[in-house]
Amino acid sequence: MITHPKILVLGGGMGGVEAAINLSQRLKGKAQIDLISNREFLYIYPASIWLTVGHRTVEDLSLPIPPLAEIHGFNFLQEEVQEVNSSQQYVITNRQKREYDYLVIALGGSKLKPKGIEHTRTVCRSPQDGIDIQEKFFQLVERGHGTIACGFSGNPKDSTAVRGGPMFEVTFNFDTYLRQKGLRDRFELIFFTPSPKPGKRLGEKGLAQIAKLFEKRNIRTMTGRKITEFTAEGVVFEDGTEIQSDLTVFTPGMAGHPLLKNSDLPLTEAGFVPVSDTAQVKDLENCYAIGDCSFFEGPAWRARQGHLAELMARTAAENIERQVNEQFPRASFREDMHILCVMDLGDEAVFVYRDDEKAIAPQGAWARWAKLAWERYYKLNKEKKMPRLM
């Protein structure tokens, strides 16, 4: 039995912070828990869609990690991870070599770089990227007219490596904002994606609902067309058609974290770390990978979500506790897995739930209130001012 084991959590996002908190709750005083991340705050991506229309600031969306570390009793180290060596159980950062007994990798993913990507803006990276969209959007609002194109694509090497949801939200938020300012008829909004059925994870009913929403809000869709490149003028498709846009917001397909190539970890073709239902990395019993950086076999509807990253984090924490207590790690995230998210439309929202048995997507102003309430709850819960509800 290892006395006072060293547990390293890599990445201070939704998965990593939940792992550090849950590990602290389970093993406080019995283990050293260090969270290493390059940002000193957790960025609340699900609410970052509101940055684009000026309804949030970067501060609103940032949860500083040092106070969380103090409240929950883990150590926070602001360092850049550069290499993981799982056979010798150490990690190299920009500061030093750090050894571990248990490792939780929660470094998130990266994005593919299609031709001309520099001509697009994204909500899926840093807070500054969200600010860039906001600035350009407000310039267009000031000018009083324009064309805005929003889209996403996937990764042909991994059907789960796609993030379309936020692009729906950003598009509908632009639409609502422009309507509220009485400018909508002077703007063209276009939604584009190579996927022939964008939003298929919502189920057949949800798909029809999205199509109806686009129609009702007069948002032109260009779906099922492969993108050749992005240019300063807009988007060029393989079939020769083009979109001329003043602002192109785009989320490319996802891929694994590039630094994981500097590791001896097993990786899928798309660069993700393959894990079993216990969140343990294939063939490595003291090494866990959770959230966007991981890959597991599962139902076709599964999606890379903050909600799942947190579920995997709690599974990893429970299994590490079991290992520390010399028990078999048998907690699994599989049974509790489902899609749960609220797709904001700017003035109402769609509440999306999906599991093996059902797919529902009711819509209404109440769902928007649920998302706003979740944002508050999320911060309060992490600050230990409110118990966990889900």
146 vs 305: CA distance, rounded Å: 32
Residues 126-165 that bind ligand FAD (CB under 6 A): 165
- Quick one: 55 or 186, whose CB is closer to ligand FAD? 55
Closest CB 370 distance from ligand FAD, rounded Å: 11
Asked if residue 305 binds ligand FAD (CB under 6 A), the reply is yes
Among 23, 68, 81, 148, binds ligand FAD (CB under 6 A): 81
Residues 258-277 that bind ligand FAD (CB under 6 A): 259
Binding-residue total with ligand FAD (CB under 6 A) = 33
Asked if residue 309 binds ligand FAD (CB under 6 A), the reply is yes
Asked if residue 307 binds ligand FAD (CB under 6 A), the reply is yes
Question: Residue 223 in contact with residue 149, Cβ under 8 Å?
Answer: no
- Quick one: 95 or 145, whose CB is closer to ligand FAD? 95
Among 116, 166, 194, 271, binds ligand FAD (CB under 6 A): 166
- Quick one: 166 or 253, whose CB is closer to ligand FAD? 166
- Quick one: 68 or 188, whose CB is closer to ligand FAD? 68
Closest CB 44 distance from ligand FAD, rounded Å: 8
Among 92, 107, 222, 367, binds ligand FAD (CB under 6 A): 107
Closest CB 5 distance from ligand FAD, rounded Å: 21
Asked if residue 15 binds ligand FAD (CB under 6 A), the reply is yes
Closest CB 236 distance from ligand FAD, rounded Å: 25
Asked if residue 108 binds ligand FAD (CB under 6 A), the reply is yes
Residues 33-72 that bind ligand FAD (CB under 6 A): 36-39, 45-46, 48-49
Among 9, 14, 31, 287, binds ligand FAD (CB under 6 A): 14
Residues contributing to the site for ligand FAD (CB under 6 A): 11-16, 36-39, 45-46, 48-49, 80-81, 106-108, 123-124, 165-166, 259, 291-293, 304-307, 309, 341
